[in-house]
């Protein structure tokens, strides 16, 4: 029975088509579209930008204003630090709980990701030039927070010095780390021959930040263009103490600091900066 009804329905529909009972505007056009191509989102993808460097992932996660000094100051020097920690989250959490306002403007993770902790127009006490262990002439110590106020701080997330014992590398917290994370210097620095390596992605991000800051602050750029050698990047420097350099390390200003270690890849990067300005 149902087959007979179906045949009658088909005959009726065909008669409508023959008699043009279905108007052109009533026709339903079925369009088969190709399935979309799904591209996985990679938050760490880098995009080429001018000056031959790359633009890494940068996240703004500003600290509360109680954790830095919300006073606008001009900047004429970049200071490179390392954290003695594994990642940005541990340093950020420490700064949140500290009353000392010792943060830097940027943290650069091992994968090259950048965490910005405050606007570069503000400042924090990331230098502490008056440290009792800092054996520099008193005339520079008298300048006090001027070193903090005039500088932009960049922290590379790295554990610092490494020791080798019975064929195993240990970090400063006495935890074993793999050999591929370690760099051996030509000679000991601060009595340590081995250091956790600043990664290639970190150095790419450091370069990006330096070039960006040089464009933002002409005084930094002017001095950085004249800096050709960085062989003393980890030593006390009178030129650095007198603000004659556009890019320095924490150790250029403090004898009791270990950052940054004179790693060949870091020095090579810094010595190429003046050619890109």
CATH number at residue 94: 3.40.80.10
248 domain-assigned:
yes
3 domain-assigned:
no
Mean pLDDT of the chain: 86
Which residue range is the domain that position 90 belongs to?
A: 51-158+198-276
Q: How confident is the model at residue 55 (pLDDT cuts 50, 70, 90)?
A: confident
145 domain-assigned:
yes
> For residue range 99-151, what is the model confidence (pLDDT) as tens digits?
999 999 999 999 999 999 999 999 999 999 999 999 999 999 999 999 999 99
DSSP string of 61-79?
-PPPGGGSB-------EEE
98 pLDDT exceeds 70?
A: yes
Q: Average pLDDT in the 224-248 region?
A: 97
**Counted domains in the chain:** 1
Residues 123, 71 contacting (CB under 8 angstroms)? yes
21 domain-assigned:
no
Q: Average pLDDT in the 243-269 region?
A: 98
20 domain-assigned:
no
Q: How confident is the model at residue 17 (pLDDT cuts 50, 70, 90)?
A: very low
Q: CA 248, 65, 217: angle at the middle one, nearest 5?
A: 35
181 domain-assigned:
no
224 domain-assigned:
yes
Torsion angle in degrees (nearest 10) through CA of 114, 82, 144, 151? -30
167 domain-assigned:
no
């Amino acid at each position: 029975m149902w087959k007979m009804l179906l045949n009658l329905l088909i005959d009726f529909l065909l008669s409508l088509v023959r008699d043009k009972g279905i108007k052109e505007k009533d026709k339903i056009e079925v369009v088969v579209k190709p399935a979309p191509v799904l591209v996985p989102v990679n938050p760490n993808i880098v995009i080429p930008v001018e000056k031959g460097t790359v633009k890494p992932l940068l996240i703004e996660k500003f600290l509360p204003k109680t954790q830095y000094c919300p006073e606008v100051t001009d900047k004429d020097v970049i200071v490179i630090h390392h954290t003695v920690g594994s990642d940005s989250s541990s340093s950020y959490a420490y700064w949140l709980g500290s009353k000392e306002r010792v943060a830097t403007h940027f943290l650069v993770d091992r994968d090259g990701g950048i965490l910005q902790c405050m606007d570069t127009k503000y400042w924090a006490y990331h230098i502490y030039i008056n440290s009792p262990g800092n054996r520099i002439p008193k005339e520079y110590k008298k300048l006090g927070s001027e070193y903090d106020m005039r500088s932009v701080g960049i922290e590379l997330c790295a554990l610092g010095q490494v020791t080798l014992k019975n064929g195993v590398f240990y970090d400063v917290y006495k935890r074993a780390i793999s050999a591929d994370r370690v760099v051996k210097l030509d000679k000991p620095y601060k009595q340590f021959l081995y250091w956790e390596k600043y990664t290639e992605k970190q150095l790419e991000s450091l370069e990006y930040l330096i070039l960006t800051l040089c464009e933002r602050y002409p005084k930094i750029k002017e001095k950085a263009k004249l800096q050709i050698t960085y062989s003393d990047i980890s030593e006390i420097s009178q030129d650095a103490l007198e603000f004659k350099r556009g890019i320095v390390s924490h150790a250029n200003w403090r004898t009791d600091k270990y950052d940054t270690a004179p790693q060949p890849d870091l020095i090579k990067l810094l010595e190429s900066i003046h050619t890109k300005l």
